[in-house]
Amino acid sequence: MPFCQRENETIKHLFWDCNVIQPFIHEFTTWVVDKCNSIEHLDLNCSSFMFGTTKYGLMFNKILMKTKQYIYKCKMRERIPYLNALKFEIRHLFEIEKSIALKQSKLEKLNSLWEPLMYLCVP
């Protein structure tokens, strides 16, 4: 059953068009702009949200992947997505990457990759 319980659930509807998802994406966008000094405007559309964008760095696409994974998880559990839960998932993703980087002595590389988005990854 789609979040909104109205439209047919196409992939495009689930991840973009749905009137439950649009406010969630808007909240996500506001959070990113608020936390990242390097991003003044986050210009997401259906295509860049679905397929990624080169505008905001590699790690931003990873965050978009995490966001879509989270939306899908909510759909499977029949729960409405919440930004706070997504924030937790993004921090968890970063912590996993950090522990891998530590073991491989690649912490500097990790920090430089994540640097523009660092404030999305810490509480």
Applying CB under 5 A, the residues found at the interface with Zn ion are 2, 4, 7, 18
CB of 14 vs Zn ion, minimal distance in Å: 7
What's the rounded Cα separation, in Å, for the pair 86 and 28?
9
Nearer to Zn ion, 18 or 64 (CB): 18
Q: In a 3-state reduction of DSSP, which class is residue 18? A: coil
- Give the number of C-alpha atoms closer than 13 A to the C-alpha of residue 55, restricted to the C-beta side: 14
CB of 1 vs Zn ion, minimal distance in Å: 10
Nearer to Zn ion, 3 or 114 (CB): 3
CB of 33 vs Zn ion, minimal distance in Å: 25
Dihedral (CA of 71, 74, 80, 86) sign: negative
Nearer to Zn ion, 2 or 116 (CB): 2
Task: List CB contacts of 9: < 8 A, sequence separation 6 or more.
Answer: 1, 2
Nearer to Zn ion, 9 or 97 (CB): 9
Answer for the pair 73, 50: CB distance below 8 angstroms, yes or no.
no
What's the rounded Cα separation, in Å, for the pair 121 and 96?
11
CB of 45 vs Zn ion, minimal distance in Å: 18
